């Protein structure tokens, strides 16, 4: 997380926890037209199973409740002075990793990582989370071990195992042929995700903030 995102995350975490979910982390993306503040929430590990014995996950209702409460807090605390839009989302299957505990939890899984400063001539890497020692994380990138300091990680996300999730593209059936001039049908592999589709399993709610006009009045000199 950026320093600004970390500051906002620390500010809002207690409010989110009071609603029965936890704040995994925040993304703060400034832009000339107005910043985007994205919060990721999840069900705490000790509440991941409901009273009925069924697994519990973040719902749209959870996102809406968090959006209402943190919007009110942000209006009072005012940590963002420019126009911004608030988005509250579940982590999804390609969940972001914000803390060392997150890396420890998903040890052995593959992650896509962007570094703050280049290392070994690269700022991006794709590899399995292999070892965690102190604040150092070792990634196995195609058999090559790359040790990265946690503080040098700008952002990271898990890479879903689409095959294990049953969402990998299906292979064409045997004997399938491309359509010819006679218009014969052909089999085509199913696409993984249609263009513009939301990430599977992700719930989110967007809420413009800073009042209807979203702009704060200019103070008189």
Same-domain status, 88 and 105: no
Q: Which residue has the tokens 């942000």?
A: 74
Same-domain status, 55 and 80: yes
**CATH code at 21?**
3.30.300.70
Same-domain status, 105 and 132: yes
Same-domain status, 43 and 16: yes
Which region, left, alpha or beta, applies to residue 200 given φ > 0 means left and ψ of -120 to 50 means alpha?
beta
**CATH code at 126?**
2.30.30.180
Q: Would you say residue 8 lies in a domain?
A: yes
Q: Would you say residue 179 lies in a domain?
A: no
Same-domain status, 87 and 109: no
Same-domain status, 12 and 82: yes
Q: Would you say residue 44 lies in a domain?
A: yes
Q: What is the pLDDT of residues 15-72, one digit of tens each?
A: 999 999 999 999 999 988 889 999 999 998 777 666 666 777 899 999 999 999 999 9
Q: Would you say residue 167 lies in a domain?
A: no
User: What pLDDT score does 54 carry?
Assistant: 73
Q: What is the pLDDT of residues 168-211, one digit of tens each?
A: 665 555 444 444 444 443 444 444 434 443 344 445 556 555 54
Name the residue with higher pLDDT: 142 or 166. 142
Q: Would you say residue 58 lies in a domain?
A: yes
Residue whose C-alpha is closest to residue 38's, from 86, 81, 93, 90: 86
Q: How many CB atoms lie under 10 A from the CB of residue 121?
A: 5
Domain membership of residue 60 as a residue range: 3-92+199-208
Same-domain status, 45 and 27: yes
Q: What is the pLDDT of residues 83-125, one digit of tens each?
A: 999 999 999 999 999 999 999 999 999 999 999 999 988 999 9
Q: Would you say residue 217 lies in a domain?
A: no
Same-domain status, 86 and 12: yes
Q: Which residues have C-beta within 8 Å of that of residue 109, sequence separation ≥ 6?
A: 128, 129, 158, 159, 161
Q: Would you say residue 41 lies in a domain?
A: yes
Same-domain status, 15 and 87: yes
Same-domain status, 126 and 57: no
Same-domain status, 75 and 104: no
Q: What tokens does 17 get? A: 């926890």
Same-domain status, 87 and 44: yes
Q: Which residues have C-beta within 8 Å of that of residue 1, sequence separation ≥ 6?
A: 9, 25, 26, 27, 98, 155
Q: Would you say residue 137 lies in a domain?
A: yes
User: What pLDDT score does 114 carry?
Assistant: 96
* Overall number of domains in the chain: 2
Q: What is the pLDDT of residues 102-113, one digit of tens each?
A: 999 999 999 999
């Amino acid at each position: 997380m950026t320093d600004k995102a970390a500051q906002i995350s620390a500010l809002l975490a207690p409010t989110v926890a009071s609603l029965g979910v936890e704040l995994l982390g925040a993304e703060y993306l400034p832009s000339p037209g107005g910043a985007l503040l994205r919060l990721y929430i999840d069900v705490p590990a000790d509440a991941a199973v409901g009273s009925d014995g069924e697994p519990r996950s973040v719902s749209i209702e959870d996102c809406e409740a968090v959006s209402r409460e943190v919007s009110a807090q942000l209006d009072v605390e005012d940590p963002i002075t420019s126009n911004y839009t608030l988005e509250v989302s579940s982590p999804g299957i390609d969940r972001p990793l914000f803390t060392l505990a997150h890396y420890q939890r998903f040890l052995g899984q593959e992650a896509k990582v962007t570094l703050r400063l280049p290392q070994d001539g690269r700022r991006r890497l794709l590899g399995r989370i292999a070892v965690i020692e102190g604040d150092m994380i070792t990634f196995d990138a195609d058999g090559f071990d790359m040790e990265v300091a946690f503080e040098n990680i700008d952002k990271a996300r898990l890479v879903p195992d689409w095959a294990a999730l049953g969402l990998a593209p299906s292979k064409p059936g045997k004997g399938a042929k491309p359509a010819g001039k006679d218009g014969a049908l052909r089999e085509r592999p199913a696409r993984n995700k249609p263009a513009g589709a939301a990430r599977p399993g992700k719930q989110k709610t967007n809420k413009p903030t800073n009042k209807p006009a979203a702009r704060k009045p200019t103070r008189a000199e």
